[in-house]
Amino acid sequence: MKTRHELITDSEFTGRRSLTSVITRVSGRGARLLTAGLIMLLYSTSLLARELPQDPLDSIMWQSMADRFMPDGQVVFDERVKVMAPLSAENQFHVPVTVDASQLDDVKKIVVVADLNPIPLVMTMRPEKALSYIGFRLKLQQTSPIHVGVLTGDGVWRVGYAIVDAAGGGCSAPAAAHGTSNWMKTLGQTRALASRVDAGNARMTLRMKHPMDTGLAPGIPAFYLNELLVRNGAGDTVAEIDLYEPVSENPTLTLRPRVGSEAETLIVSTRDTEGNEFDFPLTIPASTDL
Amino acid sequence: MKISRVSAVPHSRARRKALQWFAAGCGCAVCGSLHARFLDFDLSAVEIASKTWAVLGSNEYFTMENGGNIVNVAFIEVPDGVVVIDSGPSKRFGDALRLLIEKTLPGKPILRVYNTHHHPDHFLGNQSFDASIIAAPQKVIDNIALEGNGFADNMYRLLGDWMRGTLPVAPTLALDANTEDVGGRKFSLFYLSGHTSSDLVIRDDETGVLFCGDLAFLYRAPTTPHADIATWRQTLVTLGNIDKSLLLPGHGPSDSKEQAISQTADYIDWLHGGISDAVSQGLTMNEAMLLPIPARFEGLGVVRTEYERSVVHLYPALEDELFPLIELRR
């Protein structure tokens, strides 16, 4: 059995040493075993830790963003993940972002994070019968890097990025809806546009009335559209999207579904955090109608 | 003894200043003098008509280099004093404008300051003037009360120390008459809108100079954060029909050939048409921002930047107008 002193000197890192010594002092032998286990665990996780590439934007949150939202698997920066965003946000409540990873094959998941937002996770998307592409708008609490991780079938996260200069407060001010007396009446009201690009591709934009409350404005609890599923006529998933608090009020999303040459009716199903469901069909014209 | 004590004061001040530069990482003489120049507006007045001076800003967006001096302001010598049109982007600018007026027209009292509209580059210099002589339509006053603080915050963010000490000051005189006599000179007042929800146009009836605020731009891309394009288009027709000898746009040189009105109309027509097309095609804002700008607008200052800003301004309303309403299945 090692003495407390030996145990301390065995430990290489100051942080671990003090933790060890505190626990050992408090509860004797059982704790010593636990501590040894803890040390092994710490060592093993640090051995398994991924080698993260240097962030071109030098975001202080990069390590944390990768650990939290792109767990497991190799991480590489990849130019094929295009993130379009303005250098400066004209409106911190509506910052337009378009992600285009359509040059990548076998995309399983797209994750969008705004590193310096109080709630960094913006959305995730799983494209099935759709290009790895999505257009949307987000709220920024301050100037922030935006990282987009695209998980491909080989288990690699391919990352693109942009940085947007912004005035403050995009996430903590009440939604504009709260300035009107009857926003509940128009909740879920949807406008949408669907068009065919060519024989195999369509483009759809939907715009839905929803306050997308972050929960960070005083006295207004979080309330936002959080699920969006697009299916085709055969019931196959076209794309599945999870939305989070930073998505802008009245979410406006652009997708590029893959379709056949015949006219096709897509079914869009959405749901918010209060369980309200809003579903609607959207018809892509046949390519012969072009 | 006395003498040395007096001279010690500026001495220690100079040293403190030097230490400040040092602390800011600007210990070298070059940086020091650069900074000193940096925060000083070098305003000059151009006599655009008899006893009428314009202070012309650059055709740029707000930058740390220009300090926000991107706007046209003007002053007119009337029999009993001076009339000022717009006060600039900051207290520092307002102070510099006052000095320039005093230098140009020594001893003449400032009788009236007009604010053409509530955008920050046109009214944040109000603080340098006696609030009791600052006048604007009621709607401009309301807009300043509503948005002035937000504008000031953003201007501090964009311009930093150039804005030091600036606070939004709303005009105290609400205008509603069609003419006003100021210091022995008659001015015609036109209550218009389009660039914002309230745009004041002022004509000096003696010289015929028309001060348009930002309803007209010349060789500088028009801005649209509060624009209603259809109304603005109508207003430009109205402006064209007003008798005038010369027009001073809010940004760009003075204009005797009605170029500012036709150029602004041409630009906002294209802007509205082009962005409507992009919305109808389902392009995202980011994709719309990449669309080409016609060659005839290439000479307009900061046109790409302003076009990108306008995409953000105009898209949401056009989406609501052009996307069909979908019936939900419950």
pLDDT recorded at residue B240: 97
Instruction: Report d(CA A45, CA A43) in Å as an integer.
Output: 6
Terminal C-alpha separation, chain B: 92
Instruction: Report d(CA A250, CA A121) in Å as an integer.
Output: 18
Q: Are A103 and A116 in contact (CB under 8 A)?
A: no
What chain B residue is nearest to A248 in terms of C-alpha separation? B316
Instruction: Report d(CA B105, CA B53) in Å as an integer.
Output: 11
Enumerate the residues of chain B whose CB falls inside 8 A of the CB of residue A168. Answer: 153
From its phi and psi, is residue A139 left (phi > 0), alpha (psi between -120 and 50) or beta?
beta
Tens-place pLDDT, residues A129-157:
999 999 999 999 999 999 999 999 999 99
Q: How many CB atoms lie within 10 A of CB B152?
A: 18
Q: Which of B149, B284, B287, B330 would best serve as a mutation to test chain A binding (most A beta carbons within 10 A)?
A: B284
Flag if B287 and A84 touch (Cβ within 8 Å). Answer: yes
pLDDT range class, residue B115, cuts 50, 70, 90: very high
* Domain ranges (residues) in chain B: 37-322
Q: Which of B226, B285, B322 would best serve as a mutation to test chain A binding (most A beta carbons within 10 A)?
A: B285
What chain B residue is nearest to A90 in terms of C-alpha separation? B309
Tens-place pLDDT, residues A18-60:
444 444 444 556 656 666 665 555 555 544 568 899 999 999 9
Flag if B326 and A254 touch (Cβ within 8 Å). Answer: no
DSSP H or E stretch at residue B66: none
What chain B residue is nearest to A283 in terms of C-alpha separation? B326
Tens-place pLDDT, residues B179-223:
999 999 999 999 999 999 999 999 999 999 999 999 999 999 999
Query: Is the Cα dihedral B197, B202, B203, B209 positive or negative?
Result: negative
Tens-place pLDDT, residues B66-114:
999 999 999 999 999 999 999 999 999 999 999 999 999 999 999 999 9
Enumerate the residues of chain A whose CB falls inside 8 A of the CB of residue B312. Answer: 86, 90-91, 94, 96
Mean pLDDT computed over every residue of chain A:
88
Enumerate the residues of chain B whose CB falls inside 8 A of the CB of residue A141. Answer: none
Task: Report the pLDDT averaged over residues B19-42.
Answer: 50
pLDDT recorded at residue B38: 57
Give the minimum alpha-carbon distance from B294 to chain A in angstroms, rounded to a whole number. Answer: 21
pLDDT recorded at residue A27: 52
Flag if B326 and A192 touch (Cβ within 8 Å). Answer: yes
Task: Report the pLDDT averaged over residues A6-25.
Answer: 40
Cβ neighbours for A95, distance < 8 A, ≥ 6 positions apart: A85, A86, A89, A137, A138, A139, A140, A164, A166, A170, A248
If interface means Cβ-Cβ distance under 8 Å, which residues of chain A face chain B? 84-86, 90-91, 94, 96-98, 135, 137, 167-168, 188-195, 203-207, 250, 252, 254, 277-282
- Length, in residues, of chain A: 290
* Domain ranges (residues) in chain A: 4-48, 62-289
Please state which of the ranges A24-28, A60-64, A175-179 shows the lowest mean pLDDT: A24-28
Structure-token pair, residue B189: 């007042």
Among residues A142, A81, A195, A85, the alpha carbon closest in space to that of B285 is found at A85
Q: How many CB atoms lie within 10 A of CB A53?
A: 13
Please state which of the ranges A44-48, A74-78, B254-258 shows the lowest mean pLDDT: A44-48
What chain B residue is nearest to A84 in terms of C-alpha separation? B286
In sequence order, what are the beta bridge partners of A75? A157
Q: What is the side-by-side order of every strand in the sheet holding A201-208?
A: A82-84, A95-100, A133-138, A252-255, A201-208, A190-198, B325-326
What chain B residue is nearest to A202 in terms of C-alpha separation? B282
pLDDT range class, residue A2, cuts 50, 70, 90: very low
Tens-place pLDDT, residues A230-276:
999 899 999 999 999 999 999 999 999 999 999 999 999 999 999 99
pLDDT range class, residue B19, cuts 50, 70, 90: very low
What dotted CATH number matches B37-322?
A: 3.60.15.10
Enumerate the residues of chain A whose CB falls inside 8 A of the CB of residue B322. Answer: 193
Tens-place pLDDT, residues B285-323:
999 999 999 999 999 999 999 999 999 999 999 999 999
Instruction: Report d(CA A159, CA A72) in Å as an integer.
Output: 14
pLDDT recorded at residue A277: 97
Buried b (16+ CB within 10 A) or exposed e, A16-48: bbebbbebbeeeeeebbeebeeebeeeeeeeee
Size of interface A-B (CB pairs under 8 A): 84
What dotted CATH number matches A62-289?
A: 2.60.40.10
Flag if A137 and B285 touch (Cβ within 8 Å). Answer: yes
pLDDT exceeds 60 at position A83? yes
Candidate from B315, B324, B328 with C-beta closest to A188: B328
Confirm or reject contact between B304 and chain A (CB < 8 A).
no
pLDDT range class, residue A15, cuts 50, 70, 90: very low
Longest dimension (CA), chain B: 92
SS3 B78: strand
Instruction: Report d(CA A33, CA A35) in Å as an integer.
Output: 5
SS3 B145: helix
pLDDT recorded at residue A47: 46
Give the minimum alpha-carbon distance from A278 to chain B in angstroms, rounded to a whole number. Answer: 6
Residue window 192-251, chain B: list those with CB within 8 Å of chain A: 225
Q: Are B145 and B170 in contact (CB under 8 A)?
A: yes
Say what percent of chain A tops pLDDT 70.
82
Instruction: Report d(CA B218, CA B257) in Å as an integer.
Output: 11
Structure-token pair, residue A82: 């295009």
pLDDT exceeds 60 at position B20? no
pLDDT recorded at residue A37: 60
Task: Report the pLDDT averaged over residues A118-122.
Answer: 98
Q: Are B134 and B128 in contact (CB under 8 A)?
A: no
pLDDT exceeds 70 at position A14? no
Q: Which of B289, B326, B327, B330 would best serve as a mutation to test chain A binding (most A beta carbons within 10 A)?
A: B326
- Length, in residues, of chain B: 330
Three-state SS for chain A is CCCHHHHHHHCCCHHHHHHHHHHHHHHHHHHHHHHHHHHHHHHHHHHHCCCCCCCCCCCCCHHHHHHHHCCCCCEEECCCCEEECCCECCCCCCEEEEEECCCCCCEEEEEEEECCCCCCEEEEEEECCECCEEEEEECCCCCEEEEEEEEECCCCEEEEEEEEECCCCCCCCCCHHHHCCCHHHHCCCEEEEEEEEECCEEEEEEEECCCCECCCCCCCCCECEEEEEEECCCCCEEEEEEECCCECCCCEEEECEECCCCCEEEEEEEEECCCCEEEEEEEECCHHHC
pLDDT recorded at residue A168: 87
